Amino acid sequence: MNITKATLDAFIDDHLNEQETIKVEKAVRESPELQAQLSNIIVSRDMGDHSIGAIWRREHLSCPSREELSSFKDDALESQRIDYIKFHLETVGCKACKANLSDLNSSKDSLTNPDTREKRRQFLENSKILLPKKQ
């Protein structure tokens, strides 16, 4: 595996799949040159890396919004956008978007679960005590 600056950036940002991460970590442990390069990247980031690539990665500019992920989950988007989001999740493997989608899926599941609905109702009922009385 050829380890470039881009690979190390992806490693730091946790954007590599499990196998790639293992390979990079092993290579960094065995190579003082890669350790120095990784350290320099981290120092550069700490000082405020303002390159276009760094801003793009840091701000997740290619990531769909949470609302768009919700629409994706419900198949309520045009086919080109669905294809892009599938690519972003499956090929790019964006962990932030996967976590967001997983959260959306678990939120939907919790709303249909009768036990969760009952706990929510009890919570809201008990919270009324804390509200000031109308005068």
Give 134's pLDDT tier (boundaries 50, 70, 90): low
Q: Are 55 and 64 in contact (CB under 8 A)?
A: no
Task: With a cut of 60, say whether residue 106 has pLDDT above it.
Answer: yes
What average pLDDT is seen over the chain? 83
pLDDT of residue 110: 58
49 pLDDT band, cuts 50/70/90, is low
Joined tokens for residue 98: 């996967």
3-state secondary structure of 78: coil
Residue 16 DSSP class: S
Tokens read off for 88: 């972003």
